[in-house]
Structure formats: C-alpha cells, structure tokens
Amino acid sequence: MPLAVGPAISQMRRVMELVLTVVVPPPGQFKLNLREALAAVGARPQAPKLLGPDALDILLEADSVEAVRETVAAATADLSVDYCVQPIKGRKKKLLIADMDSTIINVECLDELADFAGVKDAVSAITERAMRGELEFEGALRERVAMLKGLPLSALQEAYDQRVWLNPGARTLVRTMAKNGARCVLVSGGFRFFTGRVAEAAGFHAERANTLIEADGALTGAVGEPILGREAKLAALREETAAMKTDPSAALAVGDGANDLAMIEAAGLGVAYRAKPIVAAQADAKVDHADLTALLYFQGYMARQFVKD
C-alpha cells in the first residue's frame, strides 16, 4: 500500500545556503540594516563577516535566490553599493573569462582608432547601438572597420600608448585568481593587436579576439573571418571549461555589452561591469560603483589575499 504524503512533508521547501556579499566603494560605510527585509522573504541571515575595509559577507539560509536578490536590490536602490547573492557552494571560480573593451580597459579601442581616422562620431554611434543589442554584432563590426580603411598601422600603437589603460582593480583581479590556480582568459570582439598587449599587462593566461587585415602599412578596412562575437565568446567559455575538465558553473564571466550576454548567462557567476541595461538585467550580479576587485570579494577572497602591484 503506497504511503500517504502528509501536508507537512509535501509543503516542505528546499532551503539553500546562500551568501550575500556587499561591497561599498571607499569611503563608504556599512549602514545597511537588511535583517528585517531579508526576514520578510524567509531568509535567515547570520552575523556578517568582514572581507576587507569595504566589503562583507552575510551567510543566509533561504529557499529563493531571486527573492533575496530582489529584496537586496530594493533595499540598496538609492545607495552606492554593489552586491552579489549566490549559493555559497562553488563560489570560488576556476576560470575567469573577461571582455576587454570598457571592462578590463577604459575605452572601446575601435572608437579610439576611429578618432585617429576622423570618424569617431559615426563609429561610436554604431558601437553604442551594438552594445545595447540593437544591432547584430558581426555586421556592425564590419561596418565600423570599413570606415578605418587607409589608417596607418602606426595609429594602432599610438592609440594604445595614448588612450588605453587597465581599469582599477583589473590587474589585482587577474593576478589574484591566477595565483590561486584559476585560468584567466581575455575574450574580445575587438582586435588581437590590443588584446595581446592588455593580456600581458594584466596577467591573463590567454586571449582571443578578431584580426584587422592590413596591407602596405595600413588597414584595408576588412576584418578576419569568422568574427568573434556573442556566440564565439560563449564557445570560448565552453571550450575552456571542457579543457579544464569542468563545466561553466566553475567560471566567472564579466562584461558590459550585448555580445557578452551569452557567456554571462552561461557562467556560474555572470557579472555585468558598468554594463548596458540589457546585460545588467540578466547578470547574476553587477558592479556599478566599486572597482574590479569586487569580483574577488564576490568569490570570498579577503583583502589581505589580494595580489597587488
């Protein structure tokens, strides 16, 4: 005779062990009182643990990650804080896969090249639409590169030397994860000329990007095929994790534009950094205020473990 399932058992909810990480950019102060808000969605927070002068962890038991995220989002809406809510198990990632332009570095390299060619306004307008997901990336890239036809190759080095620098916390993020055994890969819809230099400066193990076609000391206005775009970034994530004999849940992906969205959604922790709305809305966490070391705090690293210059 089959056993009857009583109401108490059938209505039991699966409780998860979560961690809420809050990062406040200096000189921020922790003035948040989330206990009542979290209790309202059935979360039971423990005492906070300081990770550094500007970050803390709060361990939680709850039955809904999304409910906790929504609660924290409402509680911090008017505050200059960044946060991440995730399962505590597996939070420290084995792979960092990062976009380059406007994520690891401060600019969109193609827009800066366009400035040297005298067509920055036209190119930047297309870049903005593509990053917002309003244009198909591959076609938008071909259109923009065509405007660079005839640009001397010397302009690439000038653009790098004069316009490109690592965003705050980028080198610390990469070097800290690498020291702790993670593989760090730079993936860009931009160009190998820049990714090679940026990867070396930040400490990435590998880089993937597009190639500008050149002839007679100048750009031809063409880009190598196939173009590395949204799906290629996702493929890079899958290939890297497969080579490591793990799966995308062990990866942290970070980016800011629509062509980063597929890898951000597939990763165990997908982070939107100063991102366009379409990306911020789908990411597991976003960083709008702190620097890139927030991604270390999200993984549970303490400030004293950071590898600094």
Active site residues: 99, 101
What lies within 8 Å, CB to CB, of 270 at 6+ separation is 252, 253, 254, 263, 264, 282, 283, 284, 285
Judge whether 167 and 104 are in contact, CB under 8 Å: yes
As a whole number of angstroms, the distance between CA 109 and CA 77 comes to 32
Treating both helix axes as pointing N-terminal to C-terminal, what angle do 192-202 and 154-163 enclose, rounded to 10 degrees?
40
As a whole number of angstroms, the distance between CA 202 and CA 193 comes to 15
> How many CB atoms are located within 10 Å of the residue 11 CB?
8
Closest CA to 65 of 90, 35, 88, 92: 88
What lies within 8 Å, CB to CB, of 293 at 6+ separation is 169, 172, 173, 306
What lies within 8 Å, CB to CB, of 134 at 6+ separation is none
**DSSP states along 197-221:** HHHHHHT-SEEEEE-EEEETTEEEE
- Side-chain-side CA neighbours of 155 within 13 Å: the count stands at 20
